[in-house]
Chains A and B, each alone.
Chain A
């Protein structure tokens, strides 16, 4: 489960703008394609042509067969390369569902996840062909405060709604929940099918509270490991620690003071951040870069040249003003100690605006964060951003939920077993 991929910086891969030569080549290819389509029907109309050196794309469907191991010490979705498409679903427990029935539910869900992530149909799967393309599918299960209460077990003190922040305009429809399914893969049909199986096996136990669908860069669009961009065009998540490092382990996995049932697990915060693209349109590039404290082209700090250069928070310009503004997002979110930082899991969302609305879209970021302790890690960062962050002018948290993420399991066990049987 340890990613072995290298992490090329955005600077290596980011196009510096199409050259005139490439532009002409692309035009010629489009012309040739049109001619071929006219001559031979539609067979070649999707062929296209590559900018740069590659001559062949992955037309074999290889990535569709990619399998992320399900069993292990930790739930695989915490450390796996995030699927390009994700559905976050919160459920509320039905009345009368107690510890024993919660165990029955988790046995069903674990069995579904163990099969589907390996490209096998779930039991009683009436669309088994849809399970045959796992495309890196992961299913991650989380427990909200209500779940642990029903299990009649002690909660970590942070397993509760976050404290109120002044920037929040939270809506019930995007907040809270007794349980979480995070289903992610590089193929949206796979996500939809897996989620449907999970929900069919949940409807006796729980009702749907909210569902939030998000997307990252599609498989094959970027070099593997490249930091994603949000819909403001910003390289988003540069500072996030990568799995497979001691810093990641220190930031994410539950510490000895966490309840025994959570050892090997972590916590997950999901914040739905609305981004006002229509007003952001009015901000020029200098303003956009100063808002974050990073360059737009490659995500490098305004004090550096490469994406992963360290922020120089002391650097000043010719007027003795800080190069990275005192209220820039990167400064306000900066945490020096990895054990006090969070690990980001970001997905973009974009939905249609309300009929008759002046807004062209409802766009934003599903801001997910893994951390060992919400109170000690997530809350101080969010408090710093709440006090001052230029980005707050264009972003608004509209949803918020906190979940405990139980450890992984081995074959024959089920997710949450230590909570429900311990």
Chain B
């Protein structure tokens, strides 16, 4: 049974093979001590994940990521089947740019991804992301474990910051994150 709120609230934790091997090795090494280990992905939860609906070009995903562990966790990179490239961005002086070194989710704290701030940038959308669709996203963490989450697509007018990687800064080109013109209120709610 489909559950949007639950899907948005629940994230699967799927350690990579490398992380699993490392974990097993650590477990074996620590065997005499009786201790286990958990990956960074096991320590993250996400709430209120959403993405801006877009037909093509670029868009972004937002939400709140909480770290339940006692150490900082770094989100190193992100990937999604919905886009050819996904980057971790911040907005400074209304211009967005990649965050060097990735996002840090502080120990016991929450990282808020929101329009005008930190966000996960989608470039080269492969198929249109319509309102109500679910966008799958996989985050690679500092220990190489993978944290996957689902963001629901929302019809959203904001998050139109320009991108300093776009030399032309031309709002009319493919870097414009605004969605299909038919989504504009004047075009579709005039009835």
Binding site for B on A (CB under 8 A): 92, 94, 101, 103-105, 107-108, 110-111, 114, 123-124, 126, 199-201, 203-205, 207-209, 411-414, 417, 421
Contacts and interface: CB of A to CB of B under 8 A. Distances in A.
A209 B158 CA distance: 26
Contact of A414 (B4, B188, B189): B4
A201 B188 contact: no
A70 to B, nearest CB: 11
A398 to B, nearest CB: 20
B130 to A, nearest CB: 7
A124 B156 contact: yes
Contact of A209 (B4, B131, B191): B191
A124 B50 contact: yes
Contacts of B52: 124
A411 B191 CA distance: 33
B132 A104 contact: yes
B189 A208 contact: yes
Contacts of A199: 189
A203 B154 CA distance: 11
Main secondary structure of the interface of A (DSSP, over half): mixed
B158 to A, nearest CB: 6
A104 B2 CA distance: 10
27 contacts: A94-B188, A103-B2, A104-B130, A104-B133, A105-B131, A107-B132, A108-B4, A110-B4, A111-B5, A111-B8, A111-B152, A124-B50, A126-B158, A203-B188, A204-B53, A204-B132, A204-B188, A207-B190, A209-B191, A411-B6, A412-B1, A412-B5, A412-B6, A413-B3, A414-B2, A414-B4, A421-B2
B111 interface: no
B185 interface: yes
Interface size on B, as a range, is: 20 to 34
Contacts of B185: 203
A98 to B, nearest CB: 12
A107 B156 contact: no
Contacts, number: 79
A123 B152 contact: yes
Contacts of A108: 4, 131-132, 152, 154
A200 B132 contact: no
Contacts of A114: 5
A209 B190 CA distance: 9
B154 A124 contact: yes
B5 A208 contact: no
B42 interface: no
B130 A412 contact: no
A163 B152 CA distance: 42
B121 to A, nearest CB: 17
A193 to B, nearest CB: 16
Closest 9 CB pairs of A and B: A104-B132, A207-B191, A412-B3, A124-B154, A107-B4, A412-B6, A123-B50, A204-B131, A203-B188
B155 A200 contact: yes
B95 interface: no
B19 interface: no
A209 B53 CA distance: 24
Which of B1, B2, B132, B133 has the most C-beta atoms of chain A within 10 angstroms of its own C-beta?
A: B132
Contact of A203 (B2, B4, B130, B155): B155
A104 B131 contact: yes
A107 B2 contact: yes
B104 interface: no
Interface in B160-191: 182-183, 185, 188-191
Contact of A111 (B4, B62, B182, B190): B4
Nearest to B49: A123
Given A200-B155, A203-B183, A411 B5 contact: yes
B143 interface: no
Contacts of B158: 126
Nearest to A199: B189
